[in-house]
Structures are given as C-alpha cells and as structure tokens.
Chain A
Amino acid sequence: MSLIIARQLTKTYIAGDIEVRAIRGVDFTIEPASFVSFVGPSGSGKSTLLNMIGCLDPPTSGSLEVVGQDTTQLNRRQAALFRGEHIGFVFQDFNLIPVLTVFENVEYPLQMVQNLPKQKRQDQVRELLKAVGMGDQGAKFPNQISGGQKQRVAVARALVTNARLVLADEPTANLDRKTANLIIGLMKEMRDEFGTTFIFSTHDPKVVGNAETIFTLEDGKLL
C-alpha cells in the first residue's frame, strides 16, 4: 500500500493582490521505504509540496493521503498530533533548540510530543544518536558542534519517534559537498535500517543523484 497518494493536488495563495498558483493539480504516489527527491528551480513549488505532505499547509483542492490518513481535513491540533506521530522533519538551517543539549534535542519529540516514559525515550535517543554517529556528543549544546553534526542530530530527531516519513527541505544547502554527501548517505542508511521513507527537496544535481525516485517540478507542475 502506498505511503502517500496525491490526486489533483493544488495550492493557491494570495500574495498582495496577486493569486499565486504554487501547485497546479499534481498526482503522485510514494511507496514505503523509498528515497525520493523533489527537484526544480526556486519557486517551482518544492517547499509548498513538502509543506502539504507534512500537514503544515492544507491544500486548496485535491486529495492527499499520508500514512493512510486523509490529511486535508485535519485541524491544527490534529495536524500537530499527526506530525508528531508519523512525520519527522529535517530543516535547511538544522533548527536545533539552542538551550537543549544534543541528547535533549533528540529527546524533545519523545518528551514533549509523544510523552513517552523516561527510560524508554532515553533508550531510543541513545540508539538513534549512536546510529547517526553522535553517540558520544550527547552532552554538547548545538553551538558546540559543526554544521554536519547538527544535521546528523536533526536526522536523529526526525527518526527518534519511529516516524514513517521524514521530510527534508534542502537538507544539504548549508553544508559543504563532502558533508552533504555524508548526510545523504546517512539518510539512506537510516532508510535501510528503519524502513523510513525519506523525501527531500533540492536543486543540487549532485545530491539528486542519490535519490531513487525523482519528481521534477516546474511552475507547480510535475514534469
């Protein structure tokens, strides 16, 4: 069964007096445990599409089913709960919480979103940090580690909830080539180990090469 099914998905928003059609009736399906990339130039609708899949932005029309749930009808709270349960996020700027240590950053979704018992969540955090190669960096704060390490922590945070799907918007944009490849490699490894679907957006052709499924977007349409 497909993990994501999108039918005639559109997104229109108003910018000033202008109506912008960011996504224009796209159809696609994504299977579980796949490694997918949305590519396209700036303004092509990559981020908008990822935001819709991630229940951060509701579509204007069309249907979108994620992990068997019609996400177009979720209210704000339900969407938050759904994200906390099924979706992990990796951001371009890492977006770690500066007042929390590496360990606490990874623990945050289990603690504040899923409310798991202490022992269970700490076991999961330790396992994930070890898996992303940050097992010995748990006590450090985000300002004490490098960009690549921050993104590893971000990947661990996205996966720690046993998310079925990880969305990464330009995850390598702020990293050098070598680190970018390491992060993409790590994401693939995690996919292989945990069966998590990774969807990322990029316009870097060398990163795109790592993807197993590529959707090309242009002016809000899939080519």
Chain B
Amino acid sequence: MLRPFLLWKTANCCKDLTQAYITEFSKDLIPWGTFYEEIMFNIFKLATRNLQRYRRRTLLTSMLITLGVVAVLLFISISGSFKAMMIGQITDSMLGHIQVHRKGYLASIDSLPLDRNLKGKQVAMVKEILDKNEAVEAYSMRIKLGAMFSNFTETTNIRLNAVNPAQEMQTVPMLVDRIIKGKKEGLLEKGEILVPELIAKGMRVKIGDTIVLVATNKDGSVNGQPFIVRGILEGISGPGGRDGFIHLHDARTLLRIEDKEISEIAIRLKNMNLLDKVFAGIKGQLGPIKNKMDKPVFEVHTWQKLTPFFNIARMIDLMTFFIKIMLVAIVLVSIMNVMVMAVYERINEIGTIAAIGTVPNKILSLFVVEGFLLGIFGTFVGVVTSLAAIAWMNAAQINFDFGRQKGLLLAPTISAGDILTVAATVIVIAVLASLQPAWKAARMDPITALRHV
C-alpha cells in the first residue's frame, strides 16, 4: 500500500515545493468542511488530553474561574433584583415613569409652589398629546400642596398629593399596596385622607378619625377643611415617600382653585424599556411650546431626575463593573499562569512536534485551545452553580430590610444577556491570556526546544 505512494512521490520529488504540496494535498483532499472540523477536533482532543495531564492544576484553575463567575453572576442577580425592586417601588407607587411640570416647578418643589401650577389650558394641551401617544399606559393629574394637619389637640405640617383616585391607581398601581391600615379598594373618596405612617403615629390618629387640614392658597388666604382618615400609608425612601393623599376635588375646594390647574402630571408607560424614546418624543412635543414671553412652558423629566435613588442604582452598576474587572483579572492571571507553566513544562514536546512538521499556527492553536477549554469549563460550572444558587434563593423566600421598609423579598433573577456577556468575557479573556504563552511556543526554535531538559 505504501509503495505506490512512495513511487508517486519519487517521481514528483524535484518539482517545485508548492506545486508538490498542492498535488499531494489534492490527492488526499478531505471535503472542505470536514477537513477543518477534523483538524479542530484533533486539536481539541490533544488539548483536552494535555489538560488532563495535570488534573489538580486544571481543576484549581477552573475552580478559580468558577468562583469568579459565581461571584459576578450572584452580584448581578442580587443587586439587579434589589435595584429592580427599588425602582419598581419608586416608579409604581410614587413617581410614575415620566413627569410633566410647569417650567421652573421642579427647582422649587421643596416649597410646593402653587403659583407654578400648570393652567387648565396647558393641562389640556398635555392631555391631548398623551392621549395620542400609544406608548403611554396611563397618566395622573396631581396638585401638590403643603398644609397644617390638626387632630384638634395637636398640629403638624404635612405634604399632600391631591389625586384623581382612578387615574392614580392606573399610573402608580403599587400605591394601594402601601396602605398598611384601612380600606384599599378605590384608593380614597372625596372627604377622605390617606395619612403617612409617621404622622399617624406622631399625631395618634386612627382609621375613621376626623382631622382638619388647613392650607394657604396662592393668594395668601387660609382655609380649613375636615377629612376622615381612610388609611395609613407606609413610608418609602425618597421624595414623596412620606406624603399624604387627598382627592383632587378636595384640594380644589381647600385651596379655592377655580381653574383646572395641576402641579404635576405623572405618566406611566406600557413598556419601561422604551423610556428614553417616549421621553424624547414627549419632550420634543412639549419643549417647543412657548409662553407670551417666548419662554418654554413645560418641563419634562424621567423618574431618574426625580429621585436620588437613581444615583444609588448607578453606584450599583459601577460596583458591578468593578466586580467584572476583578473577574477579568482573575481569569487573566490564572490562565496565563497555567499556560506559561504548560509551555515551560512541554518545551521538549514542542520541539518534537515542530521537528516532525507541525506548523507554528497549529502549535499556537493547541495552547490557545487549552486556555479556551479551561475558560469554557470554569464558566460552565460557574453558570450552573450560579443558576442553582439563584433558584435556591428564590425558593427559600429570603426577606430583608431596607431603611424603614421591612420584610422585603429578595427575588434575584439573571437575564440570558447577562449570562452570555459574563461567559463571553471570561472565554475571550481566557483565549487572550493563552495567546502570549501560545505565541512563545509557536515561535520556539525546534533545536533549542529539543535540547531542553
């Protein structure tokens, strides 16, 4: 069987080298796809065997990568759950996703200025725009005011949101969940008030008690009106988290507002992921509207501008980023260390395979694939462990406290996108970390390598 082949080769021995290779390889050519599949399979097989050669070292390196992957994925899932919960609470029980005010209102929001309310005509313009916007699920008109709260023996000050209950429940559906005492259905009726927990405790008021609200309108005249305590509201972190609620109609009578003026319009979107796009659209429609003095009438803000929690969320993102950097460093150092050792220990072997005709690129591939496999193995175990840990945490129903909020449920989740990003990062870094040692192996002089003891 070998003889005819050898005779064929002898006949071609003096031809140009390239021509000889082309002829030679054409003779035994494997179909294109199969050819590369087989080469890759062989490289992977050899790389796997080499990794098995030092099992303990391979295992330790993979464990290090696994630990890094688990740390990152758990941090992302837990912090993500915390972030999503806090953002959800803030947007779904207080702020909505976008708010529209009269220009300059937000700068002086601490004093709840009544003279910076949107006029009825301006409110109608906003309504018209929002009604046409298909991305808007609901919106709620609010009058925000400061008042004196009296239980007939004591008086304190209170911040109030006067709302249309139906609109408010559609815009901030989690508001009813903050009612810790009293009737939740329908939120509230005319003549009723939802009192924040702190004031209810401090003023010793109970459900069904009558209290009086005294407020000064924008002209400076004072008016008082009795209210029945309908419910006690749980406070949450951030501005507005300790506000009371009354009916919009009651605010108008208390403040003697005749025009249908409004302090703010809170908007809920059908899909929060479209926040930036919808915000830009609404801003683009309201921004160019000017008053008689050619000044803008409206200001539009996303929830991110309205709560300091957004900065905490950004800090969490920043921490996640630094933890990812640490993961990259762990993978880089551990893989590089292992691969440098692997090359050093196999110098003689590299010389042998180079001498018998293995081209430098293939030697490089052998070592890069080893690093790649280490990365894959570590990542796979890390992802499986993380998913198991996340499932366990969800099954265990872990509760925690945040500020004044007690018993919050930890519900960590992780998106496929996050898993893929972390896995891809680890694998790419594993390959990059093996490149230098692999390059060194591929460039090694066969004679020097063969002499190495």
A interface residues (Cβ-Cβ under 8 A, vs B)? 1, 32, 51, 54, 56-57, 67-69, 74, 76-78, 80-85, 87-89, 91, 93, 95, 97-100, 108-109, 111-118, 120, 123-124, 127, 157-158, 161-162, 164, 194-195
Task: Choose one: A56, A99, A116; the contact of B446 (CB below 8 Å).
Answer: A56
Q: By the criterion CB–CB under 8 Å, are B10 and A109 in contact?
A: no
Q: By the criterion CB–CB under 8 Å, are B1 and A127 in contact?
A: yes
- Nearest 7 Cβ contacts at the A-B interface: A84-B357, A68-B14, A99-B49, A113-B357, A95-B352, A83-B357, A68-B13
**Shortest distance from the beta carbon of B27 to any chain A beta carbon, whole Å:** 10
Chain A residue nearest to B20 (CB atoms) is A85
Indicate whether A85 sits within 8 Å of B53 (C-beta atoms), given known contacts A111-B42, A195-B6.
no
Q: By the criterion CB–CB under 8 Å, are B447 and A123 in contact?
A: no
Q: By the criterion CB–CB under 8 Å, are B359 and A81 in contact?
A: yes
Additional A-B contacts beyond A98-B53, A161-B357 (18; CB < 8 A)? A74-B17, A77-B361, A80-B359, A80-B360, A82-B357, A84-B358, A95-B349, A95-B450, A97-B352, A98-B349, A109-B357, A112-B358, A115-B35, A115-B38, A127-B2, A162-B2, A164-B6, A164-B9
Residues in B with CB closer than 8 Å to A162 are 2, 5-6, 9
Please report the C-alpha to C-alpha distance between residue A81 and residue B358 in the assembled complex, in whole angstroms: 7
List CB contacts (< 8 Å) of B401-451 with chain A: 446-447, 450
Please report the C-alpha to C-alpha distance between residue A164 and residue B24 in the assembled complex, in whole angstroms: 14
**Shortest distance from the beta carbon of A23 to any chain B beta carbon, whole Å:** 14
Q: By the criterion CB–CB under 8 Å, are B10 and A32 in contact?
A: yes
Task: Choose one: B1, B9, B10, B53; the contact of A99 (CB below 8 Å).
Answer: B53
Residue contacts A-B, CB under 8 angstroms, 15 given: A77-B359, A80-B354, A81-B359, A89-B356, A91-B352, A97-B349, A100-B46, A112-B43, A112-B353, A113-B357, A114-B28, A124-B1, A162-B5, A194-B2, A194-B6
Band of interface residues on B:
35 or more
0/1 interface trace, chain B 207-232, chain A, CB 8 Å (1 if under): 00000000000000000000000000
**Shortest distance from the beta carbon of A212 to any chain B beta carbon, whole Å:** 20
**Shortest distance from the beta carbon of A90 to any chain B beta carbon, whole Å:** 10
**Shortest distance from the beta carbon of A156 to any chain B beta carbon, whole Å:** 12
Q: By the criterion CB–CB under 8 Å, are A83 and B355 in contact?
A: yes
Q: By the criterion CB–CB under 8 Å, are A56 and B447 in contact?
A: yes
Q: By the criterion CB–CB under 8 Å, are A112 and B42 in contact?
A: yes
0/1 interface trace, chain B 344-382, chain A, CB 8 Å (1 if under): 000011011111111111100000000000000000000
Residues in B with CB closer than 8 Å to A123 are 1
Please report whether the interface of chain B is mostly helix, strand, loop or mixed according to DSSP.
helix
Residues in A with CB closer than 8 Å to B15 are 68
Is B167 located at the chain interface by the 8 A CB criterion? no
Please report the C-alpha to C-alpha distance between residue A67 and residue B358 in the assembled complex, in whole angstroms: 19
Q: By the criterion CB–CB under 8 Å, are B21 and A115 in contact?
A: no
Please report the C-alpha to C-alpha distance between residue A1 and residue B5 in the assembled complex, in whole angstroms: 19
Interface-central residue, A77, A115, A161, A162, by most chain B CB under 10 Å:
A115
Q: By the criterion CB–CB under 8 Å, are B360 and A115 in contact?
A: no
Please report the C-alpha to C-alpha distance between residue A205 and residue B96 in the assembled complex, in whole angstroms: 97
Q: By the criterion CB–CB under 8 Å, are B13 and A164 in contact?
A: yes
Residues in B with CB closer than 8 Å to A115 are 25, 30, 35, 38-39
Residues in A with CB closer than 8 Å to B132 are none
Please report the C-alpha to C-alpha distance between residue A120 and residue B28 in the assembled complex, in whole angstroms: 9
Q: By the criterion CB–CB under 8 Å, are B354 and A78 in contact?
A: no
Chain B residue nearest to A57 (CB atoms) is B447
Is B3 located at the chain interface by the 8 A CB criterion? yes
Is B151 located at the chain interface by the 8 A CB criterion? no
Q: By the criterion CB–CB under 8 Å, are A109 and B356 in contact?
A: yes
Interface-central residue, B1, B35, B355, B446, by most chain A CB under 10 Å:
B355
0/1 interface trace, chain B 21-50, chain A, CB 8 Å (1 if under): 100110010100001001100110010011
Q: By the criterion CB–CB under 8 Å, are A164 and B10 in contact?
A: yes
Chain A residue nearest to B31 (CB atoms) is A117
Indicate whether A113 sits within 8 Å of B1 (C-beta atoms), given known contacts A1-B14, A95-B348, A99-B52.
no
Interface-central residue, B20, B348, B359, B361, by most chain A CB under 10 Å:
B359
Please report the C-alpha to C-alpha distance between residue A54 and residue B136 in the assembled complex, in whole angstroms: 77
Chain B residue nearest to A196 (CB atoms) is B6
Q: By the criterion CB–CB under 8 Å, are B2 and A124 in contact?
A: yes
Please report the C-alpha to C-alpha distance between residue A54 and residue B53 in the assembled complex, in whole angstroms: 30
**Shortest distance from the beta carbon of B328 to any chain A beta carbon, whole Å:** 30
Chain A residue nearest to B442 (CB atoms) is A76
Q: By the criterion CB–CB under 8 Å, are B362 and A112 in contact?
A: yes
**Shortest distance from the beta carbon of B13 to any chain A beta carbon, whole Å:** 5
Q: By the criterion CB–CB under 8 Å, are A77 and B38 in contact?
A: no
0/1 interface trace, chain B 189-206, chain A, CB 8 Å (1 if under): 000000000000000000
Residues in B with CB closer than 8 Å to A157 are 356
Please report the C-alpha to C-alpha distance between residue A67 and residue B39 in the assembled complex, in whole angstroms: 27
Residues in B with CB closer than 8 Å to A98 are 53, 349
Q: By the criterion CB–CB under 8 Å, are A117 and B30 in contact?
A: yes
Residues in A with CB closer than 8 Å to B35 are 115
